[in-house]
Amino acid sequence: MLVTGFAILIAVGTGLLFLPISRAAGEPADLVVAFFTATSAVCVTGLVVVDTATAWSPFGQLVVLGLVQVGGFGFMTGSTLLLLLFVGGRVGLRDRILAQAATGDLDLGGVIDIVRRIALFTILVEATGAAVLFAAFLGEAREVGQAAWYAVFHAISAFNNAGFDLFGGFQSVARYATSPVVLLTLGGLIVLGGLSVAIVADVLARRHWGRLALESKVVLLTTLVLLVAGAVAFAALEWSNPATLGSIPVEHRPLNALFESVTLRSGGFAVINQGRLGEAALFVAMALMFIGGASGSTAGGIKVNTFSVLLIAILSTVRGRPSAEAFGRRVPHELIYRALSVALLSIAFVFVVALGLEVLAGTSFVDTTFEAISAFGTVGLSTGITPEMPPPAQILEAGAMFVGRLGPLTLALALASRQRPVLYRPALESMRIG
């Protein structure tokens, strides 16, 4: 149902973007361009093959924004919410399970409340972000209508970790490298969208570190460490690079390094040209993109939860513990097996996509791998080679976005559904490791 729902939404988006009214020039868009853009929007990725500001008409931009909002909110979550609001009927167990899968909530009885909370949280955060951005854009001598449209578009794009922008020239938000208000607002929206409503709700409800659920503690701590480590790494590696941080005034470089670390978690906005990063910084970027944000959020990647479970297992093994433990709690073995499956299969998939892009596009290994991970992680950042790729490579990249958006969740659910009670255990036999 999840896969079918997103596929239908992409097909509808492709049809709308293929209409002449969606193009700025008034002519029908290329079918591959329409399909790629619709897939990128529904999967809240932000990779583009044409400039959003100049290639699409206001109607086309509205279509893109609508696809981002629906894709970010979750197709199944949205349909359940519409059933509650407009039909008024009782939601059956099947619909509750589908909504549970879309939201990542573990309490089946509270799924409907979670869906309502997601809607309220989304509206509240996006409206607050839009208000701040409106004030900032209005101060640039923009017309009120244009400032309002830009504020709403970029607030929704940032919260949904989509990365679409209307500033033109494939420059993303580079013009705001010296604007702390814009960068902090966009960064805050990206982080909140990438944490998930469940984590935020747990923090607001319990308001004390000791009372937080294990998942909340692990996700918050890992997210903080990754953001700080990413910012420090980019500052150290790119501080003097005249093509990236080196071109920004010294007093603004720390914030830009932090924003780069934030946006690589699936945000997709860029203040510096990713194609000008050194190879060391590109490898750091690829690691952050692959991990992504929290489960049940608008972010992509294998998810912080998956990465954290594996990290907990590694640290517990190094410390000689018989089971994975964190904050005085044990992590079930079957959860570690699922996390390992998701991570390794994701690595294999990215490898295959990178190989395919290398064959089809003939670009450098590092750039090709960066684009493959960006597509799979639904990040949307690019070294600049995606618009120049041939149509077959762009279609492959669109497929990577689709799998990246639904693959880890679908795989985790499939593995969980296959779990059965074990009536017996085979005889134990050891193997050599290392």
What pTM was estimated for this model as a whole?
0.88
CA nearest to 264, candidates 286, 244, 246: 286
Supply the DSSP symbol for 328.
T
10-residue mean pLDDT profile of the chain (434 residues): values are 86 94 81 94 92 92 94 65 45 53 51 75 94 89 86 95 90 92 95 86 85 89 95 94 92 95 90 91 94 86 92 91 86 86 93 94 89 93 91 94 85 69 77 78
- Please tell me the predicted confidence (pLDDT) of residue 86: 45
- Please tell me the predicted confidence (pLDDT) of residue 295: 82
- Please tell me the predicted confidence (pLDDT) of residue 92: 55
User: What is the C-alpha to C-alpha distance for residues 181 and 151, in angstroms, rounded to an integer?
Assistant: 13
Structure tokens given for 301: 């990647």
- Please tell me the predicted confidence (pLDDT) of residue 344: 93
- Please tell me the predicted confidence (pLDDT) of residue 83: 43
- Please tell me the predicted confidence (pLDDT) of residue 84: 45
- Please tell me the predicted confidence (pLDDT) of residue 416: 67
User: What is the C-alpha to C-alpha distance for residues 250 and 235, in angstroms, rounded to an integer?
Assistant: 11
Q: In this structure, are residues 83 and 62 in contact, taking their beta carbons and an 8 Å threshold?
A: no
Residues belonging to the chain? 434
